[in-house]
Structure 1
Amino acid sequence: MKIHDLITTTEALADLCERLAKSEFVAVDTEFMRENTYWPELCLVQIANTEEAAAIDPLAEGIDLAPLLDLMCENEDVLKVFHAGGQDVEIIVNLTGKTPHPVFDTQVAMMAISQSEQIGYANLVDTWLNIQIDKGARFTDWSRRPLTDRQIEYAIGDVTHLSKIFPKILKKLIKTGRGAWLDAEMDKLADESNFIIDPDTSWKRIRSPGRNPQVLGRLKALAAWREGEAQHKNIPRGRIMRDETLADIASHPPKKQADLAKVRGLSAAWKDNDIGKRMMRVVAEAEPLPKEEMPEKMKRGAPLGKEGALVADLLKLLLKIRAREIDVAARLLTRADEMEALAAGVRDLKVLQGWRYEVFGRDALELVEGKLAFAVQNGRLKMTHIDDMQASMEEALAAE
Structure 2
Amino acid sequence: MFYLIDSNDIKKAIEKLTTANFLWIDTEVADYNTRQPRLSLIQLLAESQDLLGDDVYIFDVLKNPDLTNFFIEKIMVNPDIEKVFHNAKYDIKFLGKNQAKNITCTWEMSKKLPYYILSVSDLKLKTLAEKLTNFKNIDKELQGSDWGQRPLTEKQLEYAKMDPVYLAQVHLALLELIQQNNSEPATDNLDELTHRYQEVLHEWKLLDSEISHILERIKLAMQAQNISETSTFKLSSVQRTTQKVNFADLATLVKSQGIDLDFTEIINN
Range of TM-score over shorter length:
0.5 to 0.7
| Gap regions ≥5 residues in structure 1 | 179-303, 309-340, 349-368, 370-400
Greater relative contact order (Cα 8 A, min sep 6): structure 1 or 2?
2
- Measured in 2, the distance between the counterparts of 1:83 and 1:307 equals 48
Q: Does 1:76 align with 2:69?
A: no
> Which of 125, 133, 136 matches 2:129?
125
| 2:20 aligns with one of 4, 23, 26 | 23
Q: Distance in 1 between matches of 2:171 and 2:85?
A: 9
TM-score normalized by structure 2?
Answer: 0.59
The code of the aligned residue for 2:103 comes to V
Amino acid across the alignment from 1:43: S
Q: Deviations over 1:135-181 (max 9, x none)?
A: 22121110011001110110111001212221221232233238xxx
Alpha-carbon distance between aligned partners in 2 of 1:16 and 1:86, rounded to the nearest angstrom: 25
Query: 1:75-224 residue pairs with structure 2 within 5 A?
Result: 75-93=78-96, 98-115=98-115, 118-131=122-135, 132-177=137-182
Distance 1:347 1:144, change over 3 A: farther
- Letter of the aligned partner of 1:104 in structure 2? T
The structure-2 alpha-carbon separation of the partners of 1:20 and 1:114, relative to structure 1 and needing over 3 Å to count, comes to: farther
Residues in 2 aligned to 1:113 and 1:25: alpha-carbon distance in whole angstroms: 22
d(CA) in 1 for partners of 2:8, 2:166: 26
Letter in 1 for 2:129: V
SS of the counterpart of 1:70?
helix
C-alpha distance 60-170 of structure 1, shift in aligned 2 (>3 A):
same
Determine the C-alpha separation between the residues in 2 that align with 1:17 and 1:123. Answer: 30
Measured in 1, the distance between the counterparts of 2:92 and 2:242 equals 44
Residue in 2 that maps onto 1:42: 39
Aligned residue pairs total 185
Taking the aligned partners of 1:160 and 1:19, their CA distance within structure 2 comes to: 19
Pairwise CA distance, 1:70? 1.8
In structure 2, the partner of 1:13 is 10
Closer, same or farther in 2 for the Cα pair 1:306/1:9, shift >3 Å? farther
Change (3 A) 1:44 1:62: closer
State the 1:305 CA deviation. 6.9
Match of 2:190 in 1: none
3-state secondary structure, aligned to 1:55: strand
Report what 2:30 is aligned to: 33
- In structure 1, what is the Cα distance between the partners aligned to 2:83 and 2:260? 37
Higher helix proportion, which one? 1
Q: Report SS of the residue matched to 1:64.
A: helix
Following the alignment from structure 1 to structure 2, what is the Cα–Cα distance between the partners of residues 37 and 307?
Answer: 52
Between the aligned partners of 1:111 and 1:175, the Cα distance in structure 2 is 16
Q: CA RMSD in A?
A: 3.2
After TM superposition, the structure 1 stretch with the greater mean CA deviation from structure 2, 142-151 or 54-63, is 54-63
Point out where structure 2 has 5 or more consecutive residues left out of the alignment.
184-239, 245-253
Select which of 56, 59, 69 maps to 1:56: 59
Deviations along 1:289-334, one digit per CA (max 9) or x if unpaired, are xxxxxxxxxxxxxxx97469xxxxxxxxxxxxxxxxxxxxxxxxxx
Amino acid at match of 1:69: I
